Structure formats: structure tokens, C-alpha cells
Amino acid sequence: MARITAGVTTSHIPAVGAAMDLGKTAEEYWKPVFAGYEWTREWEKEEKPDVVILVYNDHASAFDMKIIPTFAIGAAEQFPIADEGWGPRPIPPVIGHPDLAWHIAQCCILDEFDMTIINEMAVDHGLTVPMSLMFGQVEQWPVKVVPLAVNVVTYPPPSGNRCWMLGEAIARAVDSFPEDLNVQIWGTGGMSHQLQGPRAGLINKAFDTAFLNDLTADPERLRRMPHIEYLREAGSEGIELVMWLIMRGALGGKIKELHRHYHVPASNTAVGHMVLEPVA
């Protein structure tokens, strides 16, 4: 049977992908950003996951204002890399797992989560930067991916509680998939940042640290956190952190923190990254 063996969270800053693509990772500015991912790259080589369920948001790349799905699951064989204005990133296409994606979609719909199913979709930095951070510069990705795109752009995004419950439903779906698969779930986006208006550049280290701590210490607090608190405390784009709660919900009750990384800044944003493991 398939099983969720670990959860990974990370920010998905476009400039981080550009720094990798342009060979700038050894520069003083970028060094401390990337140092915190070295542990995880080694760990991923040991873990050898078969599939990553990758929770992210599209940044006006695959979805424009014509259609705004709250939860969209990618069921394609392959996902091309989006051209976000400077040409697509020079990385391999992302390989999907349509059997698992359709299984999760069907199970979640019966479980009363009305998923949108996407058969053709380019993936942007929200998905590809975490891939590059965890697996480095590769000829082909070592895992298949089930993309789960969440609307965190047009209000209201889903509540933290709804995200958590979807995570639980995804875990139930994975548990009932007959093939023997090592599955990880990644929650991406965040941490504190604001990209717009006179308040742009907001960073709240105290909020971010408490958020990282409470993924293990008090996840119920995070689950109940209203959107307004993210907006006031973590900046307008800090709302992306609700996506981490899909990952957290999927890991279940008790978890163990294996690795943590936090650094300010990368471009406009606080970088946060954690590796978590469910405890039986």
C-alpha cells in the first residue's frame, strides 16, 4: 500500500530558482539561503520517495482570472515548465503520477472535497523552486509529482482548518492506493512577506518562528488562525502559509521535526524550511 512517510515545507521564492539557474548560489548573499537545504538533499537521497504530493500556488501562470479553482489537482503524465516572462526555467519537465492523482481526486470528492481536476497545466516557480531546492540541478527529477494548486491569490482562500481537513482526506486517499509507494507531501510558500503596496518588505521573524515551532508544539493554534492574522502579522503574501497546513493535516497527530532552516532575506521574503516525520 502507498504511505505518506514525510512532510517537507519550504518557501518558493522565484529569485531562489533564478540564483540556481544563473549559477549564483556561492555568492555571499545566497550562500546562507542554500546552506539550509544541504541536509535535506542528502536526506532525500536516502529516502528515495516515489511520489511527492506538492502543494503550491500558481502565480498567474497556468490560471488567469478566467477560472479560479480553490483546490486543483494535476493529473497529467507530464507538466511543462511555465514561461513566467523570462522564458521557462532550464529544468526538466515535471513527471506526473496520473493514477495516484485521479485516485486522490476521486477519494477526496467522495470524502466531500470537490476537487478541480487539471489535465493540462504548466507549472511555475511555486512548484519548481522547491523541486530544485530538494533535488538540486538534475537531468531528470528523481520523483513523480502530484501537483496540488491552491488559490491563495483571490480572496477568500481556503481557511486553515479546511486546508488541514483536506490534508487528512489526502492521507486517507493515499492509504487506500493499492500500489506500494513511498509518498511525501510538501507544503510550500511563505514565510512572512509582502510584495505589494507601501508596506512591502514586511518580515516578522517572531511570527515565523512561532509558526515553525507550532507545527509540532501546537498545530491546533495554526489550524484555527484566521486569515486576518496572517495578513496583519506575516504580510499579504504570508497567507501562502495556509498551504503548509494541508501538509500538516496529512501527517496526522504526532510528528517529529527532523530539520529546520530559517533565513532573512531572499529577495523580499523570509525563507523557512522544515522536514517532518509522522510518529507512529
Partner 1 sequence: MTPRNIHEYLAEFDDIPGTRVYTARRARQGYHLNQFAMSLMKAENRERFKKDENAYLEEWPLTDDQKEAVLARDYNRMLDLGGNIYFLAKLFSTDGKSFQFAAGSMTGMTQEEYAAMMIGGGRSPEGNRSIKEGR
Q: Which residues bind partner 1 (CB under 8 A)?
A: 14-15, 59-61, 64-66, 83-86, 153-156, 159-161, 192, 194-205, 207, 224, 226-228, 231-233, 236, 264-265, 267-268, 270
Q: One of 12, 97, 103, 125 is an active-site residue; which one?
A: 125
Q: Residue 145 and residue 148: Cα distance in Å, rounded?
A: 9
Walk across the sheet containing 182-188 and list its strands.
Answer: 116-118, 71-74, 144-150, 51-56, 182-188, 3-10, 269-278, 255-266
Q: Residue 214 and residue 9: Cα distance in Å, rounded?
A: 13
Q: Which of 79, 76, 148 is nearest to 119 (CA)?
A: 76
132 or 204, CB closer to partner 1? Answer: 204
Q: How far is the CB of 61 from partner 1 (least distance, A)?
A: 8
For the record, the C-alpha cell of 7 comes out as 512532510
40 or 204, CB closer to partner 1? Answer: 204
63 or 177, CB closer to partner 1? Answer: 63
Q: Residue 157 and residue 241: Cα distance in Å, rounded?
A: 11
| Chain center to CA of 220 | 20
Q: How far is the CB of 1 from partner 1 (least distance, A)?
A: 34
Q: Residue 127 and residue 114: Cα distance in Å, rounded?
A: 22
Half-sphere exposure of 17 (CA within 13 A, CB side): 23
Residue 97 annotated in active site:
no
Q: How far is the CB of 68 from partner 1 (least distance, A)?
A: 8
Q: One of 193, 261, 263, 273 is an active-site residue; which one?
A: 193
52 or 191, CB closer to partner 1? Answer: 191
Q: How far is the CB of 156 from partner 1 (least distance, A)?
A: 6
Residue 125 annotated in active site:
yes
Supply the residues annotated as catalytic: 125, 193
